[in-house]
């Protein structure tokens, strides 16, 4: 069976550095830091008092006020982004076959804010079980995909994917495979996450995973810097309209890029720490290259997982060196989490969007907040520190890795008809 080719025809993004696709991209290439003091709750007693929040977000600008109250913040994000992605792809109720369009949306945690608030309200009471009837359907992480399908009347395959911080990249991979196999013509796919809350920040603080650089939050996310001290929590949503090539051509759709290949592996090592030699990361990049039928020399840019943790950044660099050899020194490498923070289950899709835009515009977004070289990292590598760089980008690779040892990778390349 000959597999069908897969392209991207629409995108939408809501991030800490921009509330639309173009605002997001402009924020990245201009090196805008997304971190600041937390406003979503009183974090004054927490070890970490800052995060990369989505700014100036009012769901009632996009959703009916009554309906907005019935859905968690992560689903609100997903619905807003679905409107942008569908419009960007030129899809309307009049020109789609709803039975051939599906939705696959990833989230690492789902409706944590709803879960936290409901349980805290119950704990304050007399023990009588009084819960909001929307508690469960607001919380479950598959509801974003379900709500998107209902909003746009999309009746094809519909489900959620969760693999911690790799969730939205795995969602993209599932979408690609559904289209390759002819199960759908279009899949709206990506991820959403919104867990900047007492439970989210407190839980990650307890793991000692997050930066505590409260005196300088805007420079706290420092991938590949010697003084990096942990990730900065972010929130975001992003969606791709992933489409079968001939279907896209037949309707005259604009094509951003081709999705050439995907890969997924496991570290099988530790619940939170990466394999110290980057074994799973190495294997997932090899798997994606093989799936794409490409050689390491075909890649020009890697958007790394690059969370700003001491162990994670070092392990990923080892993996890149193992896969790319001397070609690693010809690559541009950047960690856009230096600007967006770590958006957990939404990280993969917004970073895939960054890779796609790099391919489209031949511009590599920077790794900001670099102050001190890490002597453990090869100085010949081009981490695109502090300033975007123009260069030909024929193909780009995007890595995402999640707690539990989940690794996912997607390769995008310039579309050639």
Catalytic positions are: 165
Q: Assign residue 359 a region (left: φ > 0; alpha: ψ between -120 and 50; beta: otherwise).
A: alpha
Q: Which run of H or of E encompasses 332?
A: strand 332-334
Contact 14, 77 (CB under 8 A): yes
For residue 349, how many C-alpha atoms fall within 13 Å in the half-sphere facing its CB? Answer: 42
User: 306 and 278 in contact (C-beta within 8 Å)?
Assistant: no
Tokens of 196: 């900047």
Residues 352, 24 contacting (CB under 8 angstroms): no
C-alpha 337/C-alpha 342 separation (Å) is 6
Query: How many helices and strands, by DSSP H and E, does the chain display?
Result: 13, 14
SS3 state of residue 238? strand
Quote the CA–CA distance of 337 and 356 in Å, as a whole number: 16
Phi, psi of 84 (to 5 degrees): -65, -45
Cβ contact 11:241 at 8 Å: yes
Answer for the pair 18, 25: CB distance below 8 angstroms, yes or no: yes
> How far apart (Å, rounded) are the C-alpha atoms in residues 26 and 230?
26
Instruction: Please spell the DSSP secondary structure of 83-150, one letter per residue.
Output: HHHHHHTT--TTS--GGGEEEEEE-SS-SHHHHHHHHHHHHHTTS-----TTHHHHH-TTHHHHHHHH
- Find out whether 238 and 11 touch, Cβ atoms under 8 Å: yes
């Amino acid at each position: 069976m000959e597999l069908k080719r897969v392209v991207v025809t629409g995108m939408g993004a809501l991030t800490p550095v921009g509330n639309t696709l173009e605002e997001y991209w402009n924020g990245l290439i201009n090196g805008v830091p997304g971190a600041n003091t937390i406003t979503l709750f009183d974090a004054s007693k927490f070890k970490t008092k800052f995060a990369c929040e989505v700014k100036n977000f009012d769901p009632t600008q996009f959703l009916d006020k009554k309906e907005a109250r019935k859905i968690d913040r992560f689903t609100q994000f997903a619905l807003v982004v679905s409107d942008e992605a569908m419009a960007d792809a030129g899809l309307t109720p009049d020109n789609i076959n709803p039975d051939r369009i599906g939705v696959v949306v990833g989230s690492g945690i789902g409706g944590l804010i709803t879960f936290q608030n409901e349980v805290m309200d119950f704990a304050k009471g007399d023990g009588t079980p009084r819960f909001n009837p929307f508690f469960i359907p607001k919380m479950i992480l598959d509801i974003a995909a379900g709500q998107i399908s209902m909003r746009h009347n999309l009746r094809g395959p519909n489900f959620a994917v969760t693999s911690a911080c790799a969730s939205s990249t795995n969602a993209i991979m599932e979408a690609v495979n559904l289209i390759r196999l002819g199960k759908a013509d279009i899949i709206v796919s990506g991820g959403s996450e919104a867990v900047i809350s007492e439970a989210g920040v407190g839980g990650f603080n307890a793991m000692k995973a997050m930066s505590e650089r409260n005196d300088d939050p805007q420079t706290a996310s420092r991938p590949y810097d010697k003084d990096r001290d942990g990730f900065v929590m972010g929130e975001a949503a992003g969606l791709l309209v992933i489409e079968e090539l001939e279907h896209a051509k037949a309707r005259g759709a604009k094509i951003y890029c081709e999705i050439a290949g995907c890969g997924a592996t496991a570290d099988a090592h530790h619940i939170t720490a990466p394999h110290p030699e980057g074994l799973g990361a190495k294997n997932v990049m090899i798997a994606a290259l093989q799936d794409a039928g490409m050689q390491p020399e075909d890649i020009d840019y890697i958007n790394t997982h690059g969370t700003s943790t001491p162990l994670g950044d070092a392990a990923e660099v080892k993996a890149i060196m193992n896969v790319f050899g001397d070609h690693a020194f010809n690559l541009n490498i950047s960690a856009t989490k230096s600007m967006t923070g770590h958006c957990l289950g939404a990280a993969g899709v917004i970073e895939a969007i960054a890779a796609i835009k790099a391919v489209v515009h031949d511009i590599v977004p920077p790794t900001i907040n670099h102050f001190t070289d890490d002597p453990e990292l090869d100085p010949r590598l081009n981490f695109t520190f502090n300033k975007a760089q123009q260069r030909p980008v024929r193909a780009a690779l995007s890595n995402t890795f999640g707690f539990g040892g989940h690794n996912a990778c997607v390769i995008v390349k310039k579309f050639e008809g």
